């Protein structure tokens, strides 16, 4: 129903709509559709210079990194999430830093690199505990990914109390 009104919508609204459609497709494991919608919102974001605001660029590129990773485009996903981490560092944005570290942990574990995964996870969960982060503060939250990361964190004694509270609060 919304799609029929997109031609009359503001560019920002169209971008947000396509971003949410990409997220929905990712959650449904429809990676091709996620990529299509991701390309659509990325194009609009470029046109309206959404990327000129570092925080929004970080969110957008973080989304793109997730899709690239799921497509098996690991070098591109790593470059994208590295960009997000750099933005976070420049801005001193703990939420972007947390998001990039969670993604780095996810990427490392998915590729069988447990040592790096634990290091990233330890950093992310420490920030999460310090800031009280949960699913409401995490852009493109993926329950299956976070369930896996929380299980690994508990196995390795990483921020156990925080992780247990995250599991309870977010029904993981």
Divide the 172 residues of the chain into consecutive groups of 10 and give the mean pLDDT of each group. 76 86 94 94 81 82 94 97 96 94 97 97 96 77 92 97 92 84
Which pLDDT does position 30 carry in this prediction? 97
Which pLDDT does position 55 carry in this prediction? 85
The answer to whether 102 and 124 are in contact (CB under 8 A) is yes
Which pLDDT does position 50 carry in this prediction? 66
- CA distance linking residue 89 with residue 146, whole number of Å: 23
- CA distance linking residue 35 with residue 133, whole number of Å: 27
The answer to whether 17 and 45 are in contact (CB under 8 A) is no
Which pLDDT does position 10 carry in this prediction? 80
């Amino acid at each position: 129903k919304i799609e029929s009104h997109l031609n009359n919508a503001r560019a920002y609204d169209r971008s947000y709509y396509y971003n949410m459609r990409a997220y929905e497709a990712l959650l449904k494991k429809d990676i091709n559709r996620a990529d299509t919608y991701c390309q659509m919102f990325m194009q609009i974001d470029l046109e309206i210079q959404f990327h000129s605001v570092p925080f929004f660029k970080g969110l957008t590129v973080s989304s793109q990194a997730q899709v690239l990773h799921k497509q098996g485009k690991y070098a591109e996903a790593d470059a994208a999430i590295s960009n997000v981490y750099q933005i976070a560092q420049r801005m001193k944005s703990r939420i972007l830093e947390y998001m990039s570290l969670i993604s780095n942990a996810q990427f490392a574990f998915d590729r069988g690199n447990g040592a790096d995964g634990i290091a990233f996870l330890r950093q992310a969960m420490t920030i999460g505990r310090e800031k009280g982060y949960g699913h409401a503060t995490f852009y493109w939250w993926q329950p299956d990914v976070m369930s896996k990361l929380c299980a690994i964190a508990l196995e390795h004694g990483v921020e156990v109390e925080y992780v247990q509270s995250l599991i309870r609060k977010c029904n993981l």
